[in-house]
Amino acid sequence: MIRVVGVKGRIKNRDDFIRKVEEYSKSLNVAIQVVDANLVYSFNHLYSAAQHAIRAMRRGTNSMKSLAMEILLYAAGERQIKNAIEKIGVKENSKSFVFIIVDDVADIKDARGKISDKDIDKMLEELHLFKNDSMLKGDKKILERFGISKNELDTVGEDRYEKLILEKVAMVDILK
């Protein structure tokens, strides 16, 4: 199952935050990736990234060993993990994040476990974060920050902006 959860809050130390998220992930045997909400266009953007990452793991075309890191590549629309982290990874000054959580996938070793809504709420509480899905509604500025050119934006109507970001996610397969 793929869950996409928007959250708000302030993190004190990025490395400690990431370590704690990894601990949750390992303890429950689920894949958890956290991204900076400032580059998230929509729920579908991250849901699609997770689907592509799962497919890559199943086909053996993955670039990363872990599903969570593979999700990060797709979410960023990048081939190189360094670029993906710089682009959409958690920043020290971030105040809004999106968690992509994948569980109950029997054929992927780091997503075989299960996480309940109660587990997610407990994790967020311990991380001092609060659910807020408002950041799952992107705009033109997010697309521009993501690297979609003005020319690309001008070629489609606003009702098709989401397709541009989904195309960037899908392009990772081709770039590999």
Give the pLDDT confidence score for residue 131 in this predicted structure: 94
> What is the spatial distance between Cα 53 and Cα 15, in angstroms, rounded to a whole number?
24
Give the pLDDT confidence score for residue 1 in this predicted structure: 92
DSSP symbol at 159: G
Q: Pick the closest to residue 24 from 160, 125, 135, 156 (CA basis).
A: 125
**CB-based burial, 10-22: b 16+ in 10 Å, e otherwise:** ebeeeeebeeebe
- Whether the model clears a pTM of 0.85, i.e. scores above it, the answer is yes
State which residues form the domain around 48.
2-175
Tell me the CATH number at 144: 3.30.2380.10
**Stretch 3-11: mean pLDDT:** 93
- Asked whether the predicted pLDDT for residue 92 surpasses 80, the reply is yes
pLDDT band at 152 (very low <50, low <70, confident <90, very high): confident
Give the pLDDT confidence score for residue 94 in this predicted structure: 83
Q: How many domains does the chain have?
A: 1
Give the pLDDT confidence score for residue 175 in this predicted structure: 63
Give the pLDDT confidence score for residue 174 in this predicted structure: 75
Give the pLDDT confidence score for residue 176 in this predicted structure: 57
